[in-house]
């Protein structure tokens, strides 16, 4: 992208406008900008180059006669290597928010299990609207992020004695616990209240899943019971005691099997 | 037919005597003082609110109770609210009577556990107070009875925790409802040497005209099952008679469908419902003895505290709890002789 430097020439342009009579009055900022002109070169410079400590460009050292009378005709491996590649790397951004968030979610791993909307179209706007002088927000549900933001607010706004990071975090955390307790009690009471006033809730996902499973498990138990019986009878016929079998092997059928078989027959 | 204040009413085959007697609004000394002095109920209600929630609503409930009892020809002599509630809880046809008496009883119970206080103020909070985190330990009113304090500390952890639980339960109620502090009574042993053991305190909610005593609910599901069985027997008998009359080939399909439905209901090849399990295990030997009631319904705070005033009202309510009354209601505590920590 071309570096835009137009804005820095505003003083020159205004001077020209005044001289030409386009502007009648001098703007209020005119003298100030005149005495403290902005830098007009916005190009990002490499520091070594600025300081004059940059090594000569190896690409320009080709085909020049050296002191010993020889010519360097091609680049060495070292010349071709990209040096100082750290300047091309994206800087590692570090924020205290991330650290607080990390601590909070390590201490409260179950907070991750709460459903959360991951698509946030108006994220920036939402956070601008929030006022962290209190933890509950109109635009945002109570979660770990509330603790982070509230901690930061307490850090910079606690009066008259400023709080340390730990104190602020603990204060925010205890507020969070209190609000969570209240929220959970509220949902429990609401459910109880509406149940007692006649509400009927649909089956949960768990119950629905069990029902689906049962459709396949029920016939299987019948079949499995039969197969087990056959297997058991086969075993007992091969037992050491001979084909009659011992008393214990004969009376081996468990109450569970008979119960399942009875249930299976009646359902067919 | 009125004769010297005694009304003879014909109901069914037997003549039942019903005295021309009606309940009076009970007197609550703190409220009567407020009414006589035409002053506010300090720290909780304004004078007009006291009039509305007790002298008007109480009277309304009482009138309703007197009227419905007369309508159903019930004898009022020698009965009190508690007896009516206990007697009628499982009689849906007398729901009106039960409802009026339970509402009146809980209202009276609630107002009797309060006293005016000088620490809190009546104010109308604005909408932004909804977002404020409730203060944890900004309160002054605490129980003084050492047994009660010890009991609360052991069961709930601390007074702070108990207060949080009590007020959070009240905050959760959206409509008409009460939060109760109750002592759980467990009855053990046979009739000769029955033991009454109060080990636990607990916080529970009731809604609308609910009463706190779980023991009263005992046997509902079993009774319902019995009714269904009786109905099934009746239907079978009728089906038999019909088939004998019309010849064995014809069968009333509607009747058969109904019988099949009832049979299905009764002979479920499943575990019983939660209600059945509760009926058999939970309520059989349990009773809840109320110590404290807190009315969380909007009619109490809307007048003085406005639509955003529930939290403020509940904070003030805590300040107004008369712990001496609570301690008086407290049954003797059965302490465990050992505890495993």
Q: Tell me the whole-structure pTM to 2 decimals.
A: 0.68
Closest residue in chain A to residue B176, using alpha carbons only = A193
Please, which pLDDT band fits residue B1 given cuts at 50, 70 and 90?
very low
Handedness of CA A27, A31, A36, A40 (dihedral sign): positive
Q: Is residue A236 part of a domain?
A: no
The pLDDT, as a whole number, for residue B12 is 34
Buried-exposed string B147-168: b where 16+ CB fall within 10 A, e elsewhere: ebbebbeebbeebeebbbbbbb
Q: Is residue A100 part of a domain?
A: yes
Residues of B whose CB is below 8 A from A136: 130-133
Question: So what's the ipTM on this one?
Answer: 0.75
List the single residue in B171, B207, B269 with the smallest CB-CB distance to A196: B207
3-class SS shares of chain B: helix, strand, coil, % to 5: 50, 15, 35
Give which of A182, A197, A259 to mutate to test B binding, by max B Cβ within 10 Å.
A182
- Give one DSSP letter per residue of A165-189, joined into a string: HHHHHHHHHHHHHHHHHHHHHHHHH
Same domain, A77 and A133: no
Q: Is the pLDDT of residue A117 over 70?
A: yes
The pLDDT, as a whole number, for residue A42 is 67
Closest residue in chain A to residue B311, using alpha carbons only = A182
Task: Enumerate the β-bridge partners of residue B181.
Answer: B203, B292
Same domain, A83 and A135: no
Same domain, A83 and A101: no
Same domain, A77 and A15: yes
Q: Is the pLDDT of residue B334 over 90?
A: no
Same domain, A103 and A176: yes
By residue range, what is the domain housing residue A165? 96-117+124-195
Q: Is residue A150 part of a domain?
A: yes
- Give one DSSP letter per residue of B57-106, joined into a string: HHHHHHHHHHHHHHHTT---TT--HHHHHHHHTT-GGGHHHHHHHHHHHH
Q: Is residue A19 part of a domain?
A: yes
Q: What is the pLDDT of residues B276-309, one digit of tens each?
A: 666 666 666 678 889 999 999 999 999 999 999 9
Q: What is the mean pLDDT of chain B?
A: 82
The pLDDT, as a whole number, for residue B276 is 67
Count of domains for chain A: 2
Please, which pLDDT band fits residue A264 given cuts at 50, 70 and 90?
very low
Q: Is residue A264 part of a domain?
A: no
Domain ranges of chain B: 2-111, 217-279
Q: What is the pLDDT of residues B48-98, one digit of tens each?
A: 999 999 999 999 999 999 999 989 888 777 778 888 888 888 788 888 999
Residues of B whose CB is below 8 A from A262: none
Helix (H, G, I), strand (E, B) or coil at B266: helix
Which DSSP symbol is given to A68? T
CB contact under 8 A, A134 and B168: no
Please, which pLDDT band fits residue B4 given cuts at 50, 70 and 90?
very low
Same domain, A155 and A171: yes
Distance CA B103, CA B108 (A): 9
Give which of B126, B131, B180 to mutate to test A binding, by max A Cβ within 10 Å.
B131
Question: Mean pLDDT: which of A10-24, A118-132, A242-256 is highest?
Answer: A10-24
CB contact under 8 A, B134 and A178: yes
Picking from A147-156, A183-192, B84-93, which range would have the lowest pLDDT averaged per residue?
B84-93
Picking from B5-9, B49-53, B151-155, which range would have the lowest pLDDT averaged per residue?
B5-9
Same domain, A14 and A35: yes
Q: What is the pLDDT of residues A210-231, one digit of tens each?
A: 889 989 998 999 999 999 999 8
Same domain, A109 and A189: yes
Which residues have CB under 8 Å from B238's CB, separation 6+? B255
Please, which pLDDT band fits residue A19 given cuts at 50, 70 and 90?
very high
Same domain, A129 and A174: yes
Q: What is the mean pLDDT of residues A19-42?
A: 86
Q: Is residue A238 part of a domain?
A: no
Same domain, A104 and A40: no
Final residue of a structural domain among A195, A228, A254? A195
Q: What is the mean pLDDT of residues B37-45?
A: 92
Please, which pLDDT band fits residue A202 given cuts at 50, 70 and 90?
confident
Give which of A185, A211, A260, A262 to mutate to test B binding, by max B Cβ within 10 Å.
A185
Same domain, A77 and A145: no
Q: What is the pLDDT of residues B238-252, one digit of tens each?
A: 888 887 877 655 567
């Amino acid at each position: 992208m071309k570096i835009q430097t137009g804005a820095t020439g505003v003083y020159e342009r205004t001077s020209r406008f005044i001289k030409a009579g386009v502007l009648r009055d001098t703007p209020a900022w005119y003298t100030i900008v005149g005495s403290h002109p902005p830098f007009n070169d916005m190009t990002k410079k490499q520091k070594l180059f600025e300081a004059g400590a940059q090594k000569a460009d190896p690409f320009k050292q080709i085909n020049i006669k050296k002191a010993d009378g020889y010519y360097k005709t091609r680049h060495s491996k070292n010349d071709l290597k990209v040096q100082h590649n750290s300047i091309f790397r994206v800087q590692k951004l570090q924020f205290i928010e991330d650290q607080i968030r990390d601590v909070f979610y390590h201490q409260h791993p179950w907070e991750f299990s709460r459903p959360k909307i991951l698509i946030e179209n108006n994220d920036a706007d939402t956070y601008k609207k929030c006022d962290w002088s209190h933890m509950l927000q109109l635009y945002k549900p109570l979660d770990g992020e509330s603790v982070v933001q509230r901690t930061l607010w307490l850090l910079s706004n606690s009066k008259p004695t400023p709080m340390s990071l730990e104190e602020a975090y603990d204060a925010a955390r205890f507020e969070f616990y209190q609000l969570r307790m209240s929220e959970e009690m509220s949902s429990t009471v609401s459910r109880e209240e509406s149940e007692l006033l006649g509400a009927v809730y649909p089956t949960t996902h768990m119950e629905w899943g069990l029902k689906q499973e049962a459709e396949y498990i029920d016939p299987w138990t019948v079949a499995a019971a039969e197969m087990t019986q056959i297997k058991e009878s086969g075993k007992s016929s091969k037992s050491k005691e001979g084909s009659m079998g011992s008393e214990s092997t004969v009376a081996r059928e468990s109450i569970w099997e008979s119960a399942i078989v009875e249930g299976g027959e009646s359902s067919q | 037919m009125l004769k010297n204040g005694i009304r003879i009413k014909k109901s069914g085959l037997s003549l039942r005597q019903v005295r021309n007697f009606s309940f009076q609004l009970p007197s609550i000394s703190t409220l009567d003082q407020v009414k006589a002095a035409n002053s506010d109920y300090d720290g909780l209600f304004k004078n007009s609110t006291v009039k509305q929630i007790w002298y008007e609503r109480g009277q309304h409930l009482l009138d309703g109770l007197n009227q419905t009892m007369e309508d159903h020809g019930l004898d009022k002599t020698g009965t009190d609210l508690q007896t009516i509630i206990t007697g009628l809880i499982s009689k849906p046809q007398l729901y009106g009577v039960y409802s009026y008496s339970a509402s009146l009883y809980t209202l009276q119970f609630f107002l009797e556990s309060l006293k005016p206080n000088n620490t809190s103020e009546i104010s109308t909070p604005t909408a932004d107070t909804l977002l404020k985190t409730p203060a944890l330990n900004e309160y002054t009113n605490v129980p003084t009875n050492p047994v009660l304090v010890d009991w609360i500390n052991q069961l709930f952890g601390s007074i702070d925790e108990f207060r949080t639980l009590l007020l959070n339960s009240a905050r959760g109620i959206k409509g008409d409802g009460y939060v109760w502090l109750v002592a759980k009574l467990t009855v053990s042993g046979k009739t000769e040497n029955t033991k009454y053991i109060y080990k636990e305190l607990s916080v529970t909610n009731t809604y609308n005209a609910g009463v706190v005593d779980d023991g009263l609910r005992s046997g509902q599901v079993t009774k319902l099952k019995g009714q269904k069985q009786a109905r099934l027997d009746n239907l079978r008998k009728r089906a038999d008679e019909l088939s004998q009359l019309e010849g064995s080939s014809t069968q009333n399909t509607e009747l058969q469908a109904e019988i099949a439905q009832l049979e299905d209901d009764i002979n479920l090849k499943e575990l019983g419902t939660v209600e059945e399990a509760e009926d058999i295990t939970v309520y059989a030997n349990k009773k809840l003895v109320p110590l404290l009631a807190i009315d969380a319904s909007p009619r109490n705070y809307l007048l003085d505290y406005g639509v955003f005033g529930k939290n403020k009202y509940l904070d003030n309510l805590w300040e107004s709890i008369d712990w001496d009354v609570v301690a008086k209601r407290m049954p003797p505590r059965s302490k465990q002789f050992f505890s495993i920590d």
